[in-house]
Amino acid sequence: MDRSATLRVIDFGTVTPLRSQTLWHAIASGVSAGGPPTLAFCRPGGRYVSIGFHRSIDELDPEMCGPTGLAVFRRMVGGGPVYIDPGQLFFQMVVPADWATARRGETIRRLLEPAVAAFRDVGIPASFDDEIVLGDRKICGHAGGQIGGALVAVGNVIDSFDHAAAASIVRAPAPEARDEYLRQMRRFVAATPTDFDAFVAAATHRYADAFALDPFPGDLDATERRELDRLDRLFVDPEWVGGVEGRRRPWWRVKVTSKVWVTHARIDALRVTAAFREGRVRSVRVCTDDGVSVATRNVEEVMRRFGAPRIGELLEEMAAGAPA
Amino acid sequence: MAEVRGCDIPEDVYYWPEKHVWARPADDGTVTVGVTDVAQHLAHSIISAMPKGAGKKVKRGRSLGTIESGKWVGPVTAPVTGEVIEPNPLLASDPGVINRDPYGDGWYVRMQPDDWAGESAELVTGTDGVAAYEAFLEAEGITCRE
């Protein structure tokens, strides 16, 4: 069989949280070594937290995550901390690095558009707008990158989403900041219940078609299995999970979607939490340490009440900051 | 500095156009390496950069470290073989400096090359280098005006 024109398809079924990460990293090593392009699927058998390659462990709530809470695994692709549970089906497309186009954005789109088509095939009219969305709601968390000599795009199909659990994993500087994060997630992140098997079939067809490859059911080879053993050890190594020291930011910021983020900062005795969509204030809440709390969509109102120059300047600075 | 298809392509550095990296040799034999204006433009807002640490040996064509933008983590390719002698310390706190000043404060690493004289011949520089980079951008349809 000419492996260069085939698409290996592996449906791992339900796997442990650890394996739901290490399996596709092992595939990346296989593809780097000349293995066939591969489309993989898995369902995590338990709840855990996945954190992006460059992100600080300090972004996670220490009581909810880590030794006394949910397991944390650091992936080798981008994005922030995410909550994962058995209500999600994961797909990963892994192709040789020399399939990249000169434009990174175009590469990501090529790797995700077949998934968008698969969503549509199973009755979910999804589209791609920096991420996979249904209208203005994100319905698929994705990330990607080059691991060795392989390009990897990962995403999920969400059967049910526990917004409260997802908000709880993030270290928030104040209760109102976490509340706002949860509120915005409920508004802009949605589950799209569907038959996982139907999605697997549709995605297989769409990816094979998009890359002009013949799909065949496969499994890891011996080299990938050895790499899997290594990755199983690496991903629970505290040094790997701990990663790098966090970047200090002038204010706390958490992304809800590619267009929506929530920020929080303190000015003397005032705590300011704001939600932005495409750089525009969606809501702002100002709290004082003596219990006053004002939430509004009206920036003028909080500026009048709490001091226009400083709050106005802060909101402008927060809006200018790109979401992390 | 030459402007090519809206991208800044200075003549005084060496390029590997396909990898969008540059190298600038110093009198002490070290080489400063970074990503080009084209790369930072294609990446958009760079939110993280993690060069390999001092002492790491890297072969030409392999990864000197990573850069992240838009949830995508990609490598910065070594233009020559050598040892990293200094990662840019500014990148940990301000990775966006790569966007603002890719040939200056946004440099990625300093290296001690194994064979600059030999391997630099694989790179392009000067007016010929700018022309070669321009030809690549034209072939790929890339501009920095998008």
Q: Give the pLDDT confidence of A69-92 residue by residue, as tens digits.
A: 999 999 999 999 999 999 999 999
Torsion angle of the four alpha carbons A144, A146, A149, A151, in this order, in degrees rounded to the nearest 10? 30
Q: Give this complex's ipTM.
A: 0.88
Identify which of B73, B75, B93 has the shortest CB distance to residue A78.
B73
Start-to-end Cα distance in chain B: 20
Of A108, A145, A324, the CB nearest to B47: A324
Q: What is the CATH number of the domain that holds B127?
A: 2.40.50.100
Judge whether B144 lies within some domain.
no
pLDDT attached to residue A248: 65
- What span, in angstroms and rounded, lies between the C-alpha atoms of A159 and A196? 8
Enumerate residues 6+ apart whose C-beta is below 8 A from A201: none
Residue A150's beta-bridge partner residues? A96, A147
Query: Bigger pLDDT: A102 or A20?
Result: A20
Q: What is the mean pLDDT of residues A266-287?
A: 88
Would B60 be classed as within a structural domain? yes
Please report residues of A whose CB lies closer than 8 A to that of B72: 77-78, 104, 107-108, 143-145
DSSP chain B: -EEETTEEE-TTSEEEGGGTEEEEE-TTS-EEEEE-HHHHHHH-S--EEEEPPTT-EE-TTSEEEEEEETTEEEEEEPSS-EEEEEE-THHHH-TTHHHH-TTTTT--EEEEES-HHHHGGGSEEHHHHHHHHHHHHHHHT--S--
pLDDT of residue A17: 98
Q: What is the spatial distance between Cα A315 and Cα A270, in angstroms, rounded to a whole number? A: 13
Residue A4 confidence (pLDDT): 61
In this complex, do A105 and B71 lie within 8 Å of one another by their Cβ atoms? no
Is the confidence at residue B37, as pLDDT, over 60? yes
User: Is B145 part of any domain?
Assistant: no
Specify the CATH superfamily of domain A3-159+194-242: Bira Bifunctional Protein; Domain 2 (3.30.930.10)
Please name the residues in contact with B110: beta carbons below 8 A apart, sequence gap of 6 or more.
B30, B31, B32, B33, B84, B85, B86
Q: Which residues of B75-88 are buried (b: 16+ CB within 10 A; e: fewer)?
A: bbbbbbbbbbeebb
Q: Over chain B, what is the mean pLDDT?
A: 95
Portion 167-186 of A in contact with B at CB < 8 A: none
Output the pLDDT for position A298: 75
Instruction: Let me know if residue B146 belongs to a domain.
Output: no
Whether pLDDT at A107 is above 80: yes
Residue B94 in this model has a pLDDT that exceeds 80? yes
**A104 with B72: Cβ contact below 8 A:** yes
Which of A246 and B7 is assigned the larger pLDDT? B7
Judge whether residue B34 has pLDDT over 50.
Answer: yes
Which tokens sit at A282? 């969606």
Q: What is the pLDDT of residue A246?
A: 64
pLDDT of amino acid A308: 61
Give residue A241's Cα distance to chain centre. Answer: 17
Q: What percent of chain B has pLDDT over 90?
A: 92
User: Which range is least confidently modeled, A28-32, A301-305, B60-64?
Assistant: A301-305
Whether B114 is covered by a domain: the verdict is yes
Q: What is the model's pLDDT at position A1?
A: 45
B16: domain range? 2-139
Is residue B126, in this structure, part of any structural domain at all? yes
**How close B5 gets to chain A, by Cα (Å)?**
15
Tell me what percent of the residues of chain A surpass a pLDDT of 90. 76
Considering the domain boundaries, does residue B49 fall inside one?
yes
pLDDT for position A310: 74
